[in-house]
Structure 1
Amino acid sequence: MAQPPAPPAAKAETKGPPADREPQMSVTRHSGTFGGQRVNYTATAGEIFLRADNGTPRAAIYFTSYIAEPRNPNRPVTFLFNGGPGSGSVWLHMGAFGPRRVAIPSNGTDDGAPPYPIVPNPDSLLDVTDLVFIDPVGTGFSHALGDTNPQDFWGVTADARSIAQFIRQWLNDNGRWNSPKFLGGESYGTTRTAAVVNQLEGAFNDVALNGLILISTVLDFGAGADTPGNEMTHVLNLPSMAATALYHGRAQASSVEAFVEEARRWATGPYLHALVQGTALPQEERAGIRRDLARFTGLSEDYLERADLRVTPSRFYRELLRDRGLSVGRLDSRYTGRDYDSAGEEPDNDPSFYGIDAGYTAAVNQHIREVLGFRTDRSYVTIGPVGPWDWRLGQGRDSDAYLNVAPYIGRALRENSGLRVFVGQGYYDFATPFFAAEYSLSRTGMPRDRIQYRYYGSGHMMYVRDDDRVALSRDVRAFIQGR
């Protein structure tokens, strides 16, 4: 349930491009209809330099902003990024909330070869908020400058500090300190959101926020770690397995909502009780658990017995439809793919990623370079090799051994009475399972009355499905307007 698989390791740059230049900037003007309203807006594709205390530029952060005209300093502004870590903001930008999007198949099939339709996006949020899409160092066009090592920015806390510094600088440059502010991300971007709110609101010169937008949430990496000995991961993945088995006809239920609710209750009750008994589990109880587990997962009792009632997601992707010669996707288990042969324990690749990546890569480059007029020789990094990533939160051995940034959100909610949280989850997402998000945000210290959940009939990137993109846009729009 943690971050998407790391890209192949690559040797990090030890020295960035020269810092003796000005930030690049391209400003263009446009008009479109969003949320049923005609909006004139200014698009800025550009860089902000992050500087050391002595003024030396350390990194160029690329961003794309869309500001409604005439400008209103009291209008909401929403800062958005994706995850990885190592992912540019292309996915939320060109798939969900930007004024134009790439139209890839909505039914969980491969996006094929170019040209890909790049179309106006009436589901953009520009009718209710200005938008700033941010690419952290090592993603998009963002990079270290001069003698700065990019690894200085590659860690939970270091990354969050850089994004918080960017936000403060953008507010300075645009005169938006008193605007309602929303912060959001997808996947590791939700981890980043929690870490950034800690940087923005955790000090005396704080930047107060109105809302956090968490899309495909991962906060508690300890509970969801797919590692031997961690029983909670099996509990937290079980409802996603049930939804997937139902989608592919390997389970029976009146609706996905009813089935996953039944799975939630069974997973935290009889299943968890059985798992924590380990090898002391009585045979009679074991037989009942095995029978029910088969009903929820669509896997055979024989396979579940051989797996000791503990099926990791990677095995589930391969085993569910093995008799059809298919694997199901990790990011979106509606997708299926064919592997080299049918004997493998795990899939060769994730069909729900290679089924969409080409279209998004083409779209973001076409849009930024040709429509917005940003010129650079750099390649846009959609998902790049940032690392090694420093996962420590700096609180000592015990805290760093169990990585969980959810307490940052709990503290922000307790100390900012105007802060609210939106959580959007896909039923068919194994990268960041919906039950794990619920678990992490239901712990001690979380004011649950200011956390709202919405669910969608797709996976990690729910906006690739047309109906879910419309619903996500409607839900986030209502969240922003509900301030």
Structure 2
Amino acid sequence: MAAVPKIVSSLLLLCVSTFSVANSNQQGTLSFDIDHQVTTKHKATINGSKINYTVSTGTQPLWDDEGHPIASLHYTYYKKDKVKDIAKRPLLISFNGGPGSASVWMHIAYTGPRVLKIDDEGYPLQPYGLKDNPYSVLDTTDIVFVNPVNTGYSRVLPDKQGKMPSKDFQKKRFFGVNADVKYLATWLNTFINRHDRALSPKFLIGESYGTTRVAGLAHELQNQQWMYLNGVILVSPTDIGIKRDGPVKAANRLPYFAATAWYHNALNDQLQDKDLLEVLEEVETYTLNTYLPALAKGAMISSEEKQAVITQVSKYSGLTERFVAQNNLDIPTSAFWKELLRDREVTLGRLDSRYLGIDKRVAGDIPDYWPELTSWLHSFTPAINHYFRQELNYKTDIKYNMFGPVRPWDRTKNTVGERLRLAMAQNPYLHVMVQSGYYDGATNYFDGKYNLWHLDPSGKMKDRLSFKGYRSGHMMYLRYEDLRLSNEDLRNFIIQALPQASEAAKY
């Protein structure tokens, strides 16, 4: 790639809203190159084959309409060496969520060629560090991990006068559902053309809030940048703007409750003796056919029907009938995390309910902290900092923001699900896959299924929609067996979404 003139900006570390989630009363400056790339060469054995690959990591600016750089985004680009025809080589563009989360989680735990040193169930081990990922999809697709503004090493830049822009300006330009999609599409267009990937089949993958991001990007790239995609992967999806309030929201929790209770041996012997998927099939059927209609009746439900539902929900959730009744059949997830194993005096993780926590008091209605998140930060934080400096030779004194300051986030006019539907309708090549962990209580798997059912009410595109579930949580790939399964599902999705040479984009 031809070198772009370097622009070095002095960044004000004093501004909490721009640089650090921690408060500081000391003023200082750091300079970093906002348009710079470091390249290294590597080898790996992936999916049984030895491959050589190049990693390019660095910063690329985002410019305003007058050509002034207003932000610089950090990326890490993995490219397989000696590819004869790059036009046939897919490119996977990866985002995490938050909003405000760096693209670290899937980078060094899911699709990248290097992953965390953790045990087979995903718990941290010392010494911290990385190991080769034998299941990475790099054998099938090149990958770029992108850090949105204020995450990772990405930053808002000073204006022409050298002053940091106001919070209002930053929110309007970067920190909202639609602002996020708009600027990232512009940035991606520059990246694609700089790296000569205009002809390559392109896929977006996003996790958690990243699913809101990529759902919106699919439409924005197609309709504003004229960049058409082959696939979108939604990992542990948010609602993507598809409403599921009231009885639907309450009912959709029950299959997740059942999965978690099954994992912790909190169900009766009849259910515990069954395989998880057999239990979930039964609970899903009950949820749709009985539980949801009962919740919809509200106070008008008969006493007999209500008691029958209380008994069955208790059976499937592992909670007592008294607790279900006290919540009027509508059980908050926060209450479930505290109540299910209260007799064992432990709480459940929110993002992955296999993880257990210890509270100051057994009493109460919400856990003191999220044990899964603290567990993950144990290993991810030192690993990513070491990886960039020591393995990728990217050295900077800018702090790597695992979670960056991006709030308040503007969530108004969130119609990304409808925009994704429209993008699929406009583009016969575009496929969508959902990947969810059964033990995820933040974005539960049954909500993910609901998204697919209601993404295209016509049902005319359902052959391009698919769902994959895993016996783990929000970041299902942390469990070693699911690292293999989820990458294999992703690999197959990418391959199957590539059209045949004679297959035109038409209905």
Using the size of structure 1 for normalisation, the TM-score is: 0.91
1:48 equivalent in structure 2: 60
| Larger RCO: 1 or 2 (CA < 8 Å, sep 6+) | 1
2:266 equivalent in structure 1: 250
Does the 8 Å contact 1:19/1:146 carry over to 2? no
1:457 CA drift (Å): 0.4
What SS does the corresponding residue of 2:322 show, helix, strand or coil? helix
2:451 equivalent in structure 1: 440
What SS does the corresponding residue of 2:477 show, helix, strand or coil? helix
Change (3 A) 1:257 1:17: farther
Question: More deviation in 178-187 or 98-107?
Answer: 98-107
Change (3 A) 1:235 1:436: same
1:411 equivalent in structure 2: 422
Does the 8 Å contact 1:17/1:144 carry over to 2? no
Change (3 A) 1:328 1:404: farther
User: Per-residue CA shift, 1:272-294, capped at 9, x if unaligned?
Assistant: 11111111111011110000000
Q: Say yes or no: does 1:459 pair with 2:464.
A: no
Distance 1:21 1:415 in 2: 40
Change (3 A) 1:409 1:20: same
Distance 1:356 1:337 in 2: 14
Change (3 A) 1:379 1:190: same
**Structure 1 counterpart of 2:406, one-letter code:** V
1:387 equivalent in structure 2: 407
Distance 2:425 2:243 in 1: 23
1:141 alignment partner, one of 134, 142, 153:
153
Does the 8 Å contact 1:108/1:334 carry over to 2? no
2:232 equivalent in structure 1: 212
User: Per-residue CA shift, 1:36-89, capped at 9, x if unaligned?
Assistant: 121111111101101112211011000000111124421111100100001101
Distance 2:240 2:313 in 1: 25
User: Per-residue CA shift, 1:23-45, capped at 9, x if unaligned?
Assistant: 12211111111111211111111
1:19 CA drift (Å): 9.4
What SS does the corresponding residue of 1:123 show, helix, strand or coil? coil
Distance 1:327 1:405 in 2: 34
2:279 equivalent in structure 1: 259
Change (3 A) 1:463 1:133: same
2:86 equivalent in structure 1: 73
What SS does the corresponding residue of 2:137 show, helix, strand or coil? coil
**Structure 2 counterpart of 1:179, one-letter code:** S
**Structure 2 counterpart of 1:249, one-letter code:** N
1:107 CA drift (Å): 2.6
1:348 CA drift (Å): 0.6
**Structure 1 counterpart of 2:254, one-letter code:** L
2:9 equivalent in structure 1: none
1:224 CA drift (Å): 4.9
User: Per-residue CA shift, 1:91-111, capped at 9, x if unaligned?
Assistant: 0001011111112233364x2
1:21 CA drift (Å): 5.3
1:309 CA drift (Å): 1.1
Q: Say yes or no: does 1:168 pair with 2:180.
A: no
Does the 8 Å contact 1:35/1:124 carry over to 2? yes
Note the 1:265-280 alignment, pairs <5 A.
265-280=285-300
**Structure 1 counterpart of 2:437, one-letter code:** G
**Structure 2 counterpart of 1:429, one-letter code:** D
2:393 equivalent in structure 1: 373
Does the 8 Å contact 1:214/1:423 carry over to 2? yes
Unaligned 5+ segments in structure 1 are 1-9, 394-402
Change (3 A) 1:91 1:405: same
Aligned residues: 458
Of structures 1 and 2, the larger Rg is shown by: 2
Does the 8 Å contact 2:109/2:477 carry over to 1? yes
Using the size of structure 2 for normalisation, the TM-score is: 0.87
1:470 CA drift (Å): 0.6
1:334 equivalent in structure 2: 354
**Structure 2 counterpart of 1:265, one-letter code:** T
User: Cα RMSD over matched residues?
Assistant: 2.0
Percent identity over the alignment? 37
1:334 CA drift (Å): 1.0
Does the 8 Å contact 1:17/1:146 carry over to 2? no
Unaligned 5+ segments in structure 2 are 1-14, 21-27, 160-164, 499-507
Distance 1:358 1:32 in 2: 26
1:399 equivalent in structure 2: none
What SS does the corresponding residue of 2:52 show, helix, strand or coil? strand
What SS does the corresponding residue of 1:249 show, helix, strand or coil? coil
Q: Say yes or no: does 1:346 pair with 2:366.
A: yes
1:90 alignment partner, one of 76, 82, 104:
104
**Structure 1 counterpart of 2:47, one-letter code:** G
2:10 equivalent in structure 1: none
4+ runs of 1 displaced by more than 6 Å? 14-20
